[in-house]
Amino acid sequence: MKPRIIGFLCEWCAARALENLAFCHPELPVGFQPFRINCTGSLELEVVIKALTEADGVLVAGCPPGECHFREGNLRAGLRLKALKRVLSALGEDLRRLRIIWLSSGEGERLGEEIHKFYRELSLEDRGS
Amino acid sequence: MKIAVHNLLSCGGCDPVFFLEESPEFFRKAEVIFWNKVKDETLKVFRKIPDQGIEIGFLCGAVKSPEHEEVVRLFRRKCRTVVAVGACALWGGIPGLLWIRKEGPRPLSSLVVPDLSIPGCPPEGSTWTVYLQGLLSGRPPGPSEEPVCQECPRDRHPFRLSDFKRFPETEPESRGCYLSLGVFCAGAVTQKGCGARCLRAGYPCLGCYGPPAGLTARGERLLSAMVSALVPQKATEALKNWRDPAGSLYRFDLATHPLVRKGKCGRSD
Ligand code: SF4
Ligand code: SF4
């Protein structure tokens, strides 16, 4: 089965970083499915859970601390996801499946690296082809 | 009217309502054909009853063993109306927490579609009356859209939290909403109908009446609300000290959680 990673990318940073990255025609792993969201702070935990049931991993990418377009959306999201991780570990879930990163719009290359790293950590790289 | 009652995986606390003073008039007139807890009968007896030969079948508890599954299917065949009773039948209930160990039961509704679902752990006498009257008059009620908070006597005001607490750690004389005390009160994500029984007795709501109509992911919503109230500087510490996450959020419905249903969670040890 092909691997699947769902990405929730904040439109003010990570989604732009992905656009910048796209100009360089990078090699992205198979099955990475990015979604542009308004702010990580607007991401419902229900949606994260649903994504976790459907994909091998979920990547949430938002603006670095202090740079949120809505002042503290990323901070709120960070806390909520941290709390969700406590719940997931209580349920015996593999915590590596949920990854949270903070990066700004200029860091396209780093986003690419992070995506590759995520695939490697979940041992999904060879399942691609 | 001929009825049948059966307890699947449960504590056996739902059907004693039949003996209570507040029990609905209905049960005094009913003729009990089969009741595994009261009459010493086996399924053999039950299998001989003609199909559709029983007016109403009440099923309490969750489904775990192949025998449970057989009983549920038999009930669907033999009873014209199947009524699911209590949190275990509806969402897996407390035994559903076994899913933390990967071996929990399933709710009844995963096998058959009941004609009526009576919520509660156990359902209050008044709830029985409302649901049965509705059923007999041809208008079976569904879940309410409003939460337990509507019936709750505690004081509500805006709040921030620096810590999560469990009920015994709160001041007995406090009158404020339990959420404002840092306690995961499920009232806000639970349908009303019990008359806020627990809150009137001075205890936070555990959520036994299930979600209000149309509300999904109630555990995650309660978590979101509580975490959003945390003072950021204290949040890391508070989350570290938070005990029993699964029990605080999914006490009665872990068996219906999407991750459990997908079989992606549960310890393998
Ligand atoms: S959350 Fe609980 S304590 Fe607060 S108003 Fe609702 S039922 Fe009452
Ligand atoms: S207050 Fe909550 S736990 Fe208590 S009976 Fe009502 S719904 Fe159930």
Rg (CA), chain B: 20
Q: Do B221 and A79 touch (CB under 8 A)?
A: no
- Looking at the partner chain, which of A44, A50, A86 has a beta carbon nearest the beta carbon of B258? A50
Among B17, B167, B197, B222, which residue has the most ligand 2 atoms within 8 Å of its CB, making it the best to mutate? B197
Decide: B99 and B262 in contact? Cβ < 8 Å: no
Decide: B151 and B201 in contact? Cβ < 8 Å: no
Residue by residue, DSSP assigns B37-83 as: TTS---HHHHHHSPTT-EEEEEEESBB-SHHHHHHHHHHHHHEEEEE
All structural domains of chain A: 5-128 (3.40.50)
Q: CB under 6 Å to ligand 2: residues?
A: B 148, 190, 194, 196-199, 205-209
* Token couple for B108: 């009844």
Going from the Cα of B103 to the center of ligand 2, the distance in angstroms, rounded, reads: 26
pLDDT computed for residue B45 by the predictor? 82
Q: Do A49 and B268 touch (CB under 8 A)?
A: no
Closest residue in chain A to residue B261, using alpha carbons only: A53
Which ligand number lies closest to the CA of residue B167? 1
Closest residue in chain B to residue A72, using alpha carbons only: B232
Q: Does B243 touch chain A (CB under 8 A)?
A: no
Question: CA B35, CA B223: separation in Å to the nearest integer?
Answer: 40
Q: pLDDT tens digit string along A35-87?
A: 999 999 999 999 999 999 999 999 999 999 999 999 999 999 999 999 999 99
According to CATH, what is the number of the domain B2-137? 3.40.50.700
Q: pLDDT tens digit string along B54-70?
A: 999 999 999 999 999 99
Residues of chain B below pLDDT 50 = 265-269
Location of each CATH 3.40.50.700 domain in chain B: 2-137
Residue A129 has pLDDT above 60, yes or no: no
Q: In residues, how long is chain A? A: 129
pLDDT computed for residue B267 by the predictor? 40
Q: Report which of residues B126 and A118 the model is more confident about.
A: A118
Answer whether B71 contacts ligand 1 (Cβ < 6 A). no
- The percent of residues in chain B predicted with pLDDT above 90, rounded, is 79
